[in-house]
Amino acid sequence: MNIKKSAYTVAVVGATGAVGTEMIQVLEERGFPVGELVPLASARSEGNEVTFRDQELPVKVLQEDSFKGVDLALFSAGASVSKEFGPIAVKAGAVVVDNSSAWRMDPKVPLVVPEVNALALAQHQGLIANPNCSTIQMVVALKPLHDAVKIKRIIVTTFQSVSGTGKEAMEELADQTRKLLAMGEVQADVYPHQIAFNCLPHIDDFLPNGYSKEEMKMVHETQKIFGDSSIQVTATTVRVPVFVCHAESINIETERKVSANEARALLSAAPGIQVYDDPSRNLYPLPIDVVGTDDVYVGRVREDESIPNGLNLWVVADNLRKGAALNAVQIAEVLLA
Ligand code: NAP
Ligand code: 3JM
């Protein structure tokens, strides 16, 4: 990737997964200069194929020598795979954009959302981390407000879709829903409880402080991306029975006052954001409308009447696209530019 080429060899690690499938689609849709696509997954996928530009490509089993000749490797096969194979890919000469939590908080690894901190990419040493899906949509929405009136504190509650867990979780929600509507019994395999017709205040493992890892990812990643460890962040992350798109209720306290109208104007002018905010017409962002789109949608902008400088927002984005695959491909596009 350090050399300008007309086309690049791109490996997708986790090519058969929910994020990997979207990665391949986003590379194609955006006309990323792919010479050869190398789809990699586990031995479970041996014999399977993925489709890229109307071609069926055989999935290869991820191995130490998988990255020979690879310019760019997009990883989304879980944190342990990234921990082990990320450095192997870099050593083989590839630039790695990693979607897992494995490297995000490493000080040598830039954690990047192009609309927010593209400049951090200049420091990369081969490995670049994509933030957590919930962090990405939050920082895109908050960046123009932070620039204008400086955010002091963020209180966020998420409503996260099952696609954030992967393909098996999507099947589990569909299967439980079908069975329950037919008055059948259901079993919970992916989550600790039934997800259909339910809400689980539990995403990723719990930590000794009582928060989940997902909640603490939002705290630490937000501070790293904004380059400001003084921003106070507290999060509650909830899994809801939605297939795709995460929603977030965000409350911010700012150093200077911003009215709801000024905030809408700032948001409307910012890259990657659509403002959908007209309660008189029941207009606010909804997962079923946002799925398959690229922007971060903001609505329900209200001044927080309980404090002098506060704002409430409702933020929705496609977690598989801006929350994962699209952001990773946008990082690669910045590297090419
Ligand atoms: P998924 O649908 O379960 O897919 C997992 C993918 O990883 C599959 O392609 C799977 O291959 C592959 N894989 C698993 N273990 C492997 C191994 N040992 N060697 C090679 N490939 C292996 O999960 P997903 O939703 O796509 O998410 C995958 C990962 O991406 C997550 O674990 C997470 O780290 C990351 N992620 C990040 C975000 C974000 O916020 N940026 C969002 C979602 C996910 P097989 O089909 O062969 O099993
Ligand atoms: C989103 O290997 C794993 O346990 C990965 C779990 C996971 C992650 C993660 O921690 O990388 C599933 C879904 C994420 C994420 O984006 O942080």
- What pLDDT, in 10s, does the model give residues 153-200? 999 999 999 999 999 999 999 999 999 999 999 999 999 999 999 999
Question: Are 104 and 202 in the same domain?
Answer: no
Question: Are 112 and 168 in the same domain?
Answer: no
Residue 17 located in a structural domain: yes
Residue 298 located in a structural domain: yes
Predicted pLDDT of residue 1: 73
For ligand 2, atom 5, the nearest C-alpha belongs to 78
The CATH number of residue 273's host domain is 3.30.360.10
**Does position 118 have pLDDT exceeding 80, yes or no?**
yes
Ligand lying nearest the CA atom of residue 135: 1
- What pLDDT, in 10s, does the model give residues 242-297? 999 999 999 999 999 999 999 999 999 999 999 999 999 999 999 999 999 999 99
Distance 304 CA to ligand 1 centre (A): 39
Ligand 2 contact, 327 CB (< 6 A)? no
Question: Are 275 and 311 in the same domain?
Answer: yes
Question: Are 218 and 328 in the same domain?
Answer: no
Residue 74 located in a structural domain: yes
- What pLDDT, in 10s, does the model give residues 46-95? 999 999 999 999 999 999 999 999 999 999 999 999 999 999 999 999 99
As a dihedral over the C-alpha atoms of residue 19, residue 21, residue 161, residue 219, rounded to 10 degrees, the angle is 10
Question: Are 231 and 331 in the same domain?
Answer: no
Residue 66 located in a structural domain: yes
Question: Are 50 and 157 in the same domain?
Answer: no
Residue 1 located in a structural domain: no
Domain that holds residue 190: 135-319
**Does position 141 have pLDDT exceeding 90, yes or no?**
yes
Question: Are 83 and 148 in the same domain?
Answer: no
**Does position 319 have pLDDT exceeding 90, yes or no?**
yes
- What pLDDT, in 10s, does the model give residues 21-50? 999 999 999 999 999 999 999 999 999 999
Question: Are 97 and 236 in the same domain?
Answer: no
Question: Are 266 and 142 in the same domain?
Answer: yes
Question: Are 78 and 177 in the same domain?
Answer: no
- pLDDT-based confidence at 4, cuts 50/70/90? confident
Question: Are 62 and 91 in the same domain?
Answer: yes
Question: Are 287 and 238 in the same domain?
Answer: yes
Residue 92 located in a structural domain: yes
Distance 100 CA to ligand 2 centre (A): 5
The total domain count for the chain is 2
Residue 2 located in a structural domain: no
Predicted pLDDT of residue 130: 98
pTM, 2 dp:
0.97
Predicted pLDDT of residue 317: 98
**Does position 2 have pLDDT exceeding 70, yes or no?**
no
The CATH number of residue 46's host domain is 3.40.50.720
Predicted pLDDT of residue 258: 98
**Catalytic site includes residue 246:** yes
